[in-house]
Amino acid sequence: MVLDTYGRSSGFCIDPIEKKPLFHFHPGSRVLSFGTAGCNLGCRFCQNWEISKARYDGSLHTRASPEDIAASASSRQCRSVAFTYNDPVIFAEYAIDTARACREVGIDTIAVTAGYIAPEAREDFFAVMSATNIDLKAFNDEFYRKWCLARLAPVLETLEFVARETDAWLEVTTLLIPGVNDSDREIAEQSAWMVEHLGEQTPLHLTAFHPDYKMREASPTPASVLHRAREVAISSGLRNVYTGNIRDPRGSSTYCSHCDALLIERRGYSVTASGVSKWRCVDCGAKVPGVFA
């Protein structure tokens, strides 16, 4: 059986790697991004619903084989190709074949996913990925059932699998919705779980929600909520915690987890890595966690 979406995309775009978001995977590099249509979750707050909720026949207007995509990324000086916009789990065969074609020409591949995938499919899917950002939408099952029409446990299993059983670089994103999944207690519990099961150096991106799709009456996330959540996550043991969808130089830059020296400064998508040498802190010599050229 061949998927209707195989070889067809809802569009291609060249992005900075920080937009995925990945902050510890070839910072400052270019990535060729694409997706198809549809999703395996039903998030009422989807920030990309025009694609994730679209019917494939009305939105898949670009045809490209895996080999075409690999060649296009290489010719445009992209370090990697990202499967994004909608969840690549639902076009896994296309993503896997494209990842293999990219490897043939030295291009890395990235899965931007909610991690809602069955155990039988996890191994094949993540075996060909160089990096992944997994969207951990909340740290309680009730949220997943009510707002995503899904369950939390499979996502946690995927996170552990990637961290322990694959070579893919892992970063995590949580979209904070005011009054829904942004309590100090939930952020602390999620952060403590990440420290124990994924490792204290695993980057966490806490991003701002804006009203969309079926949650248009909700309030956007204030910057103060993200600042507070970042402090809670750091206090719970995570070393690399970032804020997103707001202007926050401190919350978007990378600091040494040993001496707090500024390593990589980010202002928007402008990246300056003046605090590192051979990907070690120039002040104390500590190794910066991640994947770097």
pLDDT at residue number 48: 74
In a domain, 197, yes or no: yes
| Structural domain range at position 54 | 8-253
CA distance readout (Å), 147 to 144, 157, 174, 181, 283: 6, 20, 14, 11, 45
pLDDT tens track for 213-227: 788 888 999 999 999
pLDDT at 4 over 80: no
In a domain, 283, yes or no: no
164 vs 175: CA distance, rounded Å? 24
Domain count, the chain: 1
Q: Partners of 9 in the beta sheet? A: 62
157 vs 172: CA distance, rounded Å? 14
| Kind of pairing between the strands at 262-267 and 12-16 | unpaired
pLDDT tens track for 264-293: 999 989 999 999 999 999 999 999 999 998
pLDDT at 2 over 60: no
In a domain, 266, yes or no: no
Which residues have CB under 8 Å from 1's CB, separation 6+?
A: none
In a domain, 68, yes or no: yes
177 vs 221: CA distance, rounded Å? 6
pLDDT at residue number 211: 86
In a domain, 284, yes or no: no
Q: Are 180 and 143 in contact (CB under 8 A)?
A: yes
In a domain, 268, yes or no: no
- Helix (H) or strand (E) segment spanning residue 205: strand 204-208
pLDDT tens track for 14-66: 999 999 999 999 999 999 999 998 889 989 888 776 666 655 455 556 789 99
In a domain, 270, yes or no: no
In a domain, 267, yes or no: no
pLDDT tens track for 151-197: 999 999 999 999 999 999 999 999 999 999 999 999 999 999 999 99
Q: Are 85 and 61 in contact (CB under 8 A)?
A: no
Question: What CATH number did the domain enclosing 31 receive?
Answer: 3.20.20.70
